[in-house]
Structure 1
Amino acid sequence: MQTSPLNVDDFTQTENREVYQAFEDLWASGQVTESSVLVNMLRDVLDPALSDRLTFLLQHTATEPPLSDEEHRQAVLKAALRLREQAHRREIERLRFLLETAESDAEAERARIGVRERTTELSRLHRALAGHVHAGRD
């Protein structure tokens, strides 16, 4: 399934957005070679107020059972698809509100098109998620 990469708008919590943005920036810099290096670099660049959030995320990950590389890849993909699904649902709600409050036909049409596009993408995400579940990867 082809979909755009995750971005900060896929996250609802500000702390998660900030951690993800720092991760993206470090990854894009090409300086990251190992996950242990990434964690240390994240700690260095994140605002100290986000240190607790990063620690929580890392501890949550550490409590998960060990995964093979393929299982890890599938788990990350599934989590990303679920985040994107939630983001599309929020966007559909926002667009439906705009549709109800539109002051012109043009505004209403833009909102309708947006709802249609997000609904189509949501269907694609559901198929992708169902494929992982039916393939026994859940």
Structure 2
Amino acid sequence: LMTDFLGTPPPEAISKIRNDKARRYLGNMKKKQSVPFSKKFPKADPLALRLLQRLIAFDPKDRPSAEEALADPYFNGLSSSEKEPSTQPISKLEFEFERKKLSTDDVRELIYREILEYHPQ
């Protein structure tokens, strides 16, 4: 679906994809031209289309952060960066537990510890 709007991604974007199957699929895909969003959505607000195009950029590095998206002109008058909290991205170490193989007993222990966090006895 993204390629229907954005066209076939450039080779440098495809080369960054870690999944071999997805990389091969996109690399072998018939070339498609991008379609201007204004043609697909002729009645839409041009500022909304500009933001949408930025948000669904093929390469994640080309997409705005949440903070940058909220600062987009589309949200003028609705968003206030002074009133909205902002923080640093969460460290990958916070999700290190997802990479570990856990036994049933390990999971039980983790659940028990989580319960104690909220209901210490």
Q: TM-score range by the shorter chain?
A: under 0.3
Which one has the largest radius of gyration? 2
Greater RCO (Cα-Cα under 8 Å, separation 6 or more): 1
TM-score for both structures, normalised by structure 1: 0.22
TM-score for both structures, normalised by structure 2: 0.24
